[in-house]
Amino acid sequence: EVQLVETGGGLIQPGGSLRLSCAASGFTVRNNYMNWVRQAPGKGLEWVSIIYDGGNTHYADSVKGRFTVSRDSSTNTLFLQMNSLIADDTAVYYCARWSMGQRAFDIWGQGTIVTVSS
């Protein structure tokens, strides 16, 4: 079965760091364009970052310089390292695959909740 499962969310103080994981099954992370998308409480979806199959990465301005996306081929897992966290980073974080062939966000995870608060 093709699926994505996010873990690693939790309560973290402002200025702290957290690493989210997204375990993939049914396909290979390193051969795909993998994204992080977040949703603050009561707000809309916000694209956060992408890692291409070739390893290039891109970020939304709101997280540039603080967040780093990476992957591990041995565990077929996508990561999001989040540093210097602020209250505005409080959100549900989803990983999603962008299908290059279909031009589609075709697989979504169920999300993991990150709360930044003192």
Partner 1 sequence: QAVVTQEPSFSVSPGGTVTLTCGLSSGSVSTTHYPNWIQQTPGQAPRTLMYNTNTRSSGVPDRFSGSILGSKAALAITGAQADDESDYYCVLYMGSGVWVFGGGTKLTVL
List residues near partner 1 by CB under 8 A: 35, 37, 44-47, 50, 52, 56-58, 60-61, 94, 96, 98-99, 102-106, 108-111
Cβ 104 to partner 1 shortest distance, Å: 3
Cβ 14 to partner 1 shortest distance, Å: 24
Cβ 5 to partner 1 shortest distance, Å: 11
Cα separation, 18 vs 82, whole angstroms? 5
- The residue ranges of DSSP E strands in 8-51, in sequence order, are 10-12, 18-25, 33-39, 45-51
Cβ 61 to partner 1 shortest distance, Å: 6
Q: Closer to partner 1 by CB, 27 or 47: give it.
A: 47
Cα separation, 36 vs 51, whole angstroms? 9
Q: Closer to partner 1 by CB, 57 or 117: give it.
A: 57
- Contact (Cβ atoms closer than 8 angstroms) between residue 109 and residue 4: yes
Q: Closer to partner 1 by CB, 13 or 54: give it.
A: 54
69: region left, alpha or beta (phi > 0 left; psi from -120 to 50 alpha)? beta
Q: What is the dihedral of CA 32, 7, 106, 45, to 10 degrees?
A: -110
Q: Closer to partner 1 by CB, 3 or 75: give it.
A: 3
